[in-house]
Chains A and B, each alone.
Chain A
């Protein structure tokens, strides 16, 4: 099956610093990638959708200047949390989909746990 990886799997940073999370589709080309955030004991919340080579589309309430998303290639998307604060501490999960050829399953990465001190 298709594999999506994330790096790092966990990160601890100081308040005010920026953190970059990478998401890669390892064995397929992802025309669309998604970023989700999940707080403890809660469901996944969609943050943004990005198509390769285009600007990301952010969900209502998600600050695009704080959560920078780049989808520069068909296998890589990055999420940068700028000037992170403790309230940004969460589990960030990326997902990828390849619509070409009619295959519609959305594959999820293992997640990145961000802790901001």
Chain B
């Protein structure tokens, strides 16, 4: 049973805000929500992590509703360099990250 479900792909124009939603209906009390970005032929890079409500850093925001059964990664004003695969991961902090299929974001000029 997959822990997370996210859209396979998304397209966006440069300068737009992109929101990628992830469903995790079976999230456990100890689970955190973490998002990673991966460019072709590179290792994944950490974007953001949260447990509940809203988390913001210099590159993204993460919105988590009260029931924690989903989360939304928000990328403000995307550029061509944001074209990548974005992974939503759910798990306890002391467990290895298990990747789902991810969302392939294509940013168009």
Interface residues, chain A, with chain B CB atoms under 8 Å away: 4, 32, 34, 36, 43-46, 49, 91, 93, 95, 99, 104-111, 113
Contact = CB atoms under 8 A, between A and B. Distances in A.
A99 B46 CA distance: 16
B93 A111 contact: no
A111 B42 contact: yes
A91 B41 contact: yes
The B interface, classified by DSSP as helix, strand, loop or mixed, is loop
A76 to B, nearest CB: 17
Interface residues of B, number: 18
Interface of B: 36, 41-46, 49, 87, 93-94, 96-102
Nearest to A33: B96
Given A104-B93, A105-B49, A111 B43 contact: yes
B52 to A, nearest CB: 16
